[in-house]
Amino acid sequence: MTKPGVTGSTMTARRSAGKRRVARAVWYAKKGIVELRAAPLGLPGAGEAIVRTLFSGVSRGTERLIFNGAVSPSEWQRMQAPLQEGAFPFPVKYGYCATGIVEDGPKELAGRTVFCLHPHQDYFVAPASMLAPVPDGVPARRATLAANMETALNGLWDAGTGPGDRIVVVGGGVVGLLVAYLSARLPGADVTLIDTDKSRAKLAQELGFRFAAPGEAPEDADVVFHASSTSAGLGTAIGAAGMEATIVEMSWYGDMPVAANLGGGFHSRRLKVISSQVGQVSPGRRPRWTYRRRLEAALGLLQDSALDVLVANEIAFEAVAEALPRALAAGADGLAPVIRYP
């Protein structure tokens, strides 16, 4: 006989969760080495839930730096993911784009698909307050884009973009594509993505904005976003900016020094370069927006099925030790993959 208000399937899930004591997680073990390691898994306590992971997204820019041991010592503390284990440079269990099903926890979350800033792991226990329900109509795979969508949204806030702006985005990774996607939905905005990879042209067309190679970048932009993580890309961004325009630097370079061409017309055009980083809510929104409100807004912005092209590449969790290093290698083709769990 089941307890009132608890279905047989819920009881089964709780018994299953209770029996499971060891999960498996992805660790960056040393430079260039990824391992699957056992992760002791206790029962959820008060205010906690156990989640069976469905997908987790790989944040290629950040995780490539971690994989290569290129996180500056000055950033070891600030770079910690919310539920990270280990410490920089190695070994470290990292990641922040997981979606899964709540198998045990508060009744309002039981059976729900949720997003969590958790490392790559097949089962995990997390505070219920860190689990954001995924809206109806957003598949679990697409919901792994939530953290990157937050980054893109924060970038638009930092830039102060508006209707009718001429906007250029340099760098067609996932973050750059999401920045361009959001920008293209501003009324009357003229948005161009710049990338050396001409295969990004098809993605740009599907997502509703123009594409150009670096040598064909438009000039006189009102706002330029740079997300290529290269000195050449930063030079292209500076060249595309119009008089007194803003260049929003969204790349993270780790411990790599970056050359910036501040000669030519940089000063005479009175250009402004600002940084944008998701670790803080944009100052213009900070008095009213919490991290939770921003995350929920990002999840809501993922309702469009056109965004599925950004999560089309996947690797199996079982194959991650071999497949993830290939995906993080310099010059790897395609967008960052999504890890699919059994």
Q: Are 156 and 102 within one domain?
A: no
- CATH number of domain containing 316: 3.90.180.10
* Separation CA 263–CA 141 (nearest Å): 44
Evaluate whether residue 185 is within a structural domain.
yes
Contact at 8 Å (CB) between 226 and 172? Answer: no
Evaluate whether residue 70 is within a structural domain.
yes
- Among 14, 96, 10, 22, smallest CA distance to 61 is for 96
- Among 13, 320, 311, smallest CA distance to 140 is for 311
pLDDT of residue 242: 98
Evaluate whether residue 325 is within a structural domain.
yes
Evaluate whether residue 297 is within a structural domain.
no
Contact at 8 Å (CB) between 31 and 69? Answer: yes
pLDDT of residue 19: 54
Evaluate whether residue 283 is within a structural domain.
no
Q: Are 86 and 161 within one domain?
A: no
Evaluate whether residue 296 is within a structural domain.
no
Provide the token pair at 294.
């921003």
Evaluate whether residue 281 is within a structural domain.
no
Q: Are 129 and 178 within one domain?
A: no
pLDDT digits (tens, 9 = 90+) for 176-210: 999 999 999 999 999 999 999 999 999 999 999 99
pLDDT of residue 256: 83
The region, left, alpha or beta by phi > 0 then psi within -120 to 50, assigned to residue 231 is alpha
Contact at 8 Å (CB) between 205 and 228? Answer: no
- Terminal CA-CA length for the chain: 31
Q: Are 157 and 85 within one domain?
A: no
Q: Are 124 and 171 within one domain?
A: no
The residue range of the domain holding 64 is 8-145+302-340
CA angle 62, 193, 269 (to 5 degrees): 95
Model pTM score: 0.92
Residues of the chain with confidence (pLDDT) below 70: 1-20
Q: Are 42 and 104 within one domain?
A: yes
* Separation CA 218–CA 239 (nearest Å): 9
Q: Are 226 and 333 within one domain?
A: no
pLDDT of residue 131: 98
- CATH number of domain containing 257: 3.40.50.720
Taking each helix axis as running N to C, give the angle between helix 320-328 and helix 60-67, from 0 to 180 degrees, rounded to the nearest 10: 110
Domain tally, the chain: 2
91 cis-preceded (ω within 30 degrees of 0):
yes
Pairing of strands 113-116, 123-127: unpaired
Q: Are 201 and 115 within one domain?
A: no
Q: Are 137 and 155 within one domain?
A: no
Q: Are 69 and 187 within one domain?
A: no
- Among 297, 326, 330, smallest CA distance to 313 is for 326
Q: CA torsion angle for 131, 135, 138, 142 (degrees, to 10)?
A: -30
Contact at 8 Å (CB) between 244 and 160? Answer: no
Q: Are 136 and 15 within one domain?
A: yes
Evaluate whether residue 59 is within a structural domain.
yes
pLDDT digits (tens, 9 = 90+) for 133-168: 999 999 999 999 999 999 999 999 999 999 999 999
Q: Are 139 and 153 within one domain?
A: no
230, 256, 275 - which closes a domain: 275
